[in-house]
Amino acid sequence: QSVLTQPPSVSGAPGQRVTISCTGSSSNIGAGYDVYWYQQLPGIAPKLLIYDNSNRPSGVPDRFSGSKSGTSASLAITGLQAEDEADYYCQSYDSSLSGWVFGGGTKLTVL
């Protein structure tokens, strides 16, 4: 059971927009800790996609965007492409656990 809750799967057709939610609590996201998103392509190490809730590292397309509100955060992907098919993980810090926590991951399928 992950500390941060994500939907197990989402799907969308090429060109569409999908969102992935990440729900936490008052000891992590709700406490003001930033949220980070990682993309993991099959068989490859995770790659940082979004940092500090809504910022993209250099090289990440602007089709990817992040937001945070209250105890939750969201990752939005617009203009879906086949290459976006991957697992996506959110991450934050939890003060009650005194450690870094990940969501359970969401598998994105491009139909």
Partner 1 sequence: QITLKESGPPLVKPTQTLTLTCTFSGFSLSTSGVGVGWIRQPPGKALEWLALIYWDDDKRYSPSLKSRLTITKDTSKDQVVLTMTNMDPVDTATYYCAHVYSNSHFDYWGQGTLVTVSS
Q: Of 41, 24, 36, which Cα lies nearest the Cα of 108?
A: 41
C-beta of 97 vs 111, nearer to partner 1: 97
> Closest approach of Cβ 50 to partner 1, in Å?
10
C-beta of 15 vs 32, nearer to partner 1: 32
Listing DSSP states for 68-97 in one string gives EETTEEEEEE-S--GGG-EEEEEEEEETTT
C-beta of 10 vs 78, nearer to partner 1: 10
Burial 30-42 (b: 16+ CB within 10 A, else e): beebbbbbbbbee
Q: Name the residues that contact partner 1, by CB under 8 A.
A: 2, 34, 36, 38, 45-48, 51-52, 57, 89, 91, 93, 97-105
> Closest approach of Cβ 102 to partner 1, in Å?
4
> Closest approach of Cβ 19 to partner 1, in Å?
19
Instruction: Return d(Cα 25, Cα 103) in angstroms, integer.
Output: 12
> Closest approach of Cβ 59 to partner 1, in Å?
12
